């Protein structure tokens, strides 16, 4: 489990007069689940980029269980993210021509010359857990709901301390979206991972411990918990 603490985080871009993100303080408890909401341009993507180390803030500290990833080099942030973060994206980022299990194993193949013992078995077990057949058919034959289930299994493969999902239900129909909501929150809780979800979906953020609303790069409110 990893806890998150933001201290005086400011992100500025040269073409913007106001900060894209301005968060004096924010605490996310280890193992909790948080929804990040807000209109287009509110700073949601910048927030995700900062907390996952994709972007270094102009000022402030981004502490994951006491480690300030804002002080790390880009290469060190990449290594930290590979070790600690599982990503679930709106557009899945799956590779056509590969089977479900090969898509799940792909992050591990990037990190290891040979797969560690037991990792393929874990991938199969995760696919069973999310209701997907681990057979050989190509991922391009799957429905969008099935693709998102594969993406969730892939995010969990290396047992990350943090799962970050960016609009995971936005491209799904209502029934598939509801199933993905339930699956994502259940598996994150079972894994003890801290879950951060950018979403406009009330069915999803209603399942999470807490909601943080952004507007103009600043904290607008927080629901389901006391404001940090």
Instruction: Note the pLDDT of residue 107.
Output: 81
Provide the pLDDT for residue 1.
81
**Does a structural domain hold residue 50?**
yes
Predicted confidence pLDDT, tens digits, the chain (228 residues): 899 999 999 999 998 889 999 999 999 999 999 999 999 889 999 999 999 999 999 999 999 999 999 999 999 999 999 999 999 988 888 999 999 999 999 888 877 777 778 889 999 999 999 999 877 789 999 999 999 999 999 999 999 999 999 999 888 888 888 888 899 999 999 999 999 999 988 888 888 999 999 999 999 864 344 444
114: domain CATH number is 3.40.50.300
Whole-angstrom distance, CA of residue 7 vs CA of residue 88: 26
The DSSP bridge pattern shows strands 162-166 and 194-198 to be parallel
Total tally of structural domains belonging to the chain: 1
Domain assignment of residue 18, given as a range: 4-222
The verdict on residue 143 lying in a domain is yes
Q: Is residue 48 part of a domain?
A: yes
228, part of any domain: no
Q: How far apart are CA 223 and CA 221, in angstroms?
A: 7
Instruction: Give a yes or no: residue 227 inside a domain.
Output: no
| pLDDT at position 205 | 85
Domain membership of residue 148 (yes or no) is yes
> Are 162 and 86 within 8 A, CB to CB?
yes
Task: Give pLDDT, residue 224.
Answer: 40
Closest-CA residue to 38 (of 28, 25, 23): 23
By the 8 A CB rule, do 6 and 212 touch?
A: no
The answer to the question of residue 55 being in a domain is yes
* pLDDT given for residue 134 in this prediction: 78
Residue 38 lies in a domain: yes
């Amino acid at each position: 489990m990893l806890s998150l603490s933001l201290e005086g985080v400011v992100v500025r871009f040269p073409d913007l007069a106001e900060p894209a993100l301005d968060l004096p303080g924010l605490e996310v408890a280890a193992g909790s689940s948080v929804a990040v909401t807000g209109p287009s341009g509110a700073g949601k993507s910048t927030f995700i980029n900062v907390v996952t180390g994709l972007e270094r803030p102009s000022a402030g500290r981004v502490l994951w269980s006491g480690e300030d990833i804002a002080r790390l080099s880009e290469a060190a942030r990449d290594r930290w993210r590979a070790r600690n973060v599982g990503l679930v994206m709106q557009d899945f980022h799956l590779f056509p021509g590969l089977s479900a299990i090969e898509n799940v194993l792909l992050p591990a193949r990037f990190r290891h010359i040979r797969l560690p013992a037991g990792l393929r078995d874990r991938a199969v077990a995760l696919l069973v857990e999310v209701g997907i057949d681990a057979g050989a058919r190509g991922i391009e034959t799957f429905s969008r709901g099935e693709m998102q289930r594969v993406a969730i299994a892939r995010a969990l493969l290396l047992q990350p301390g943090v799962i970050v999902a960016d609009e995971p239900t936005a491209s799904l129909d209502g029934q598939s979206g509801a199933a993905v909501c339930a699956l994502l929150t259940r598996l994150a809780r079972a894994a003890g991972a801290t879950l951060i979800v950018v979403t406009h979906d009330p069915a999803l953020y209603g399942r999470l411990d807490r909601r943080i609303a952004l507007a103009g790069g600043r904290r607008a409110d927080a629901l389901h918990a006391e404001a940090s």
